[in-house]
Amino acid sequence: AQRVTQPEKLLSVFKGAPVELKCNYSYSGSPELFWYVQYSRQRLQLLLRHISRESIKGFTADLNKGETSFHLKKPFAQEEDSAMYYCALILMDQGGKLIFGQGTELSVKP
Amino acid sequence: KAGVTQTPRYLIKTRGQQVTLSCSPISGHRSVSWYQQTPGQGLQFLFEYFSETQRNKGNFPGRFSGRQFSNSRSEMNVSTLELGDSALYLCASSLTGTSGTNNEQFFGPGTRLTVL
């Protein structure tokens, strides 16, 4: 079955430390993956997508088809990175249905 | 550009009632998707409308229905409400929908539905 798994509900790091939010997926088709972020009292918004291969706010994510992973990384966490992060997968063989992981709450302490 | 708007922001209903939620997409966006967010199940896809046609549907019972108007505004209806329908309902708009090339989803603030 298609699935997106974010194994950590909560990740707590200190400011300046590296951060990695894990995302694993299960999908037999060609994956198109995203990271969405929700800051406190704000709307869910797109952070980055794997096809863009870009760095947003210092975050990067590389699709590893062999390990079926799309981990989100940042070398030096900032307090303003504290938020809920959701990994999402488009099921292109199901008309583009978008499925989300359960989310990881990132807390960056001063 | 104005963002996605949802009305009402909060609703309290009792079991057995029905409810209609509204979503106005970003101007020019033809795709509207609906999601249910609960602490236990997380974000779950309900359905997607594109140019007034339902293009995709999640695994929800038939009590959940929707429609889209010619101006791309969308409504979601839940009939015979159950306690388990209590959730945050999010809508998102995009230019082409999730299966297109411009598939970034722009989310609204959500409607918080409480079923008593």
Query: Which helix (H) or strand (E) segment is A108 a member of?
Result: strand A104-109
- Three-class DSSP category at B84: helix
Interatomic CA distance for residues B50 and B54, integer angstroms: 6
Residues B58-69, buried b or exposed e (16+ Cβ, 10 A)?
Answer: bebeeebbbebe
Task: Return the amino acid letter for A70.
Answer: F
Name chain B contacts of A103, Cβ cutoff 8 Å. Answer: 42-43
Name chain B contacts of A44, Cβ cutoff 8 Å. Answer: 90, 92, 107
Name chain A contacts of B56, Cβ cutoff 8 Å. Answer: 94-97
Mean pLDDT of B59-87: 96
Nearest CA in chain A to B3: A43
For residue A103, give the nearest of B42, B56, B58 by CB distance: B42
Helix (H) and strand (E) counts in chain B: 0, 11
Q: To the nearest 5 percent, what fractions of chain A are helix, strand and coil?
A: 5, 50, 45
Given this model, what pLDDT does residue A92 score?
84
Interatomic CA distance for residues B93 and B105, integer angstroms: 6
User: Which among B60, B4, B1 is positioned nearest to B31, based on CA atoms?
Assistant: B4
Given this model, what pLDDT does residue B102 score?
66
Segment A36-79, tens digit of pLDDT: 999 999 999 999 988 777 888 999 998 999 999 999 999 999 99
